[in-house]
Structure formats: C-alpha cells, structure tokens
C-alpha cells in the first residue's frame, strides 16, 4: 500500500470505481483512463489539462489498475514548488479511505 515512505501499490479498477461511486463519478476502466491520460487531440486544452493532472497523480496504469504518484511532494520541491498540491493530498486521502 502506498505510504509516506514512497512505497506504492497498484489500485485495481474495481477499487477506483468503488471510490468513484461514493462521489458520483462515472465508471472507468483501462481504455477510458488511457484516453484521458494520453489524449488523441493535443489541441484540446481541456483534454490536455486532464492529462497533465493525471500525469501528476499517477505513475503507472495498466489492465490491473493504477499506481499513484507517492513522490509528488519531493518532485514539487525539487522543481521549486512549495510542496504537495491539494488535489494530490485529496487523492491520497480518498485512496487510503477506500482501501482501508
């Protein structure tokens, strides 16, 4: 399980959807996620913003699920940022709650 030490674990699509159902989000699977993570229309600013957000939160995805980026704070600080973003913190809390 992802923790403060930077260890990560893949979260299944079923677990992602279970969490999403709590917030009224539509079902997602590998293909739908891939279309958001790697948009085909690079000129669509909304699609690009979605993709950028997902790239910041997810280090890997596949048929088995997604792996959250647990190094967000360190990467942000190396780039001169002030630390972990609110969206990343919310995603981690929601994932921990859903997994546990």
How high is the pLDDT of residue 42?
81
Percent of the chain with pLDDT strictly greater than 70: 66
Query: Look-up: residue for tokens 């958001």?
Result: 36
Q: Could you give the CA distance from residue 94 to residue 40 in angstroms, rounded to a whole number?
A: 29
Q: Could you give the CA distance from residue 23 to residue 16 in angstroms, rounded to a whole number?
A: 11
Q: Which two tokens stand for residue 23?
A: 């917030």
Instruction: Report in angstroms the alpha-carbon separations of 84 from 9, 56, 80, 87.
Output: 19, 11, 11, 8
Q: Is 80 exceeded by the pLDDT of residue 52? A: yes
pTM: 0.62
Q: Which two tokens stand for residue 22?
A: 């709590």
How high is the pLDDT of residue 41?
86
Three-class SS of residue 94?
A: helix
């Amino acid at each position: 399980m992802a923790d403060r030490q930077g260890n990560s674990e893949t979260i299944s699509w079923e677990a992602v959807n279970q969490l999403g159902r709590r917030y009224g989000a539509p079902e997602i699977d590998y293909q739908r996620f891939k279309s958001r993570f790697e948009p085909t229309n690079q000129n669509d600013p909304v699609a690009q913003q979605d993709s950028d957000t997902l790239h910041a939160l997810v280090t890997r995805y596949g048929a088995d699920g997604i792996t959250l980026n647990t190094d967000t704070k360190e990467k942000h600080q190396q780039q001169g940022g002030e630390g972990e973003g609110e969206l990343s913190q919310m995603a981690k809390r929601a994932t921990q709650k859903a997994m546990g």
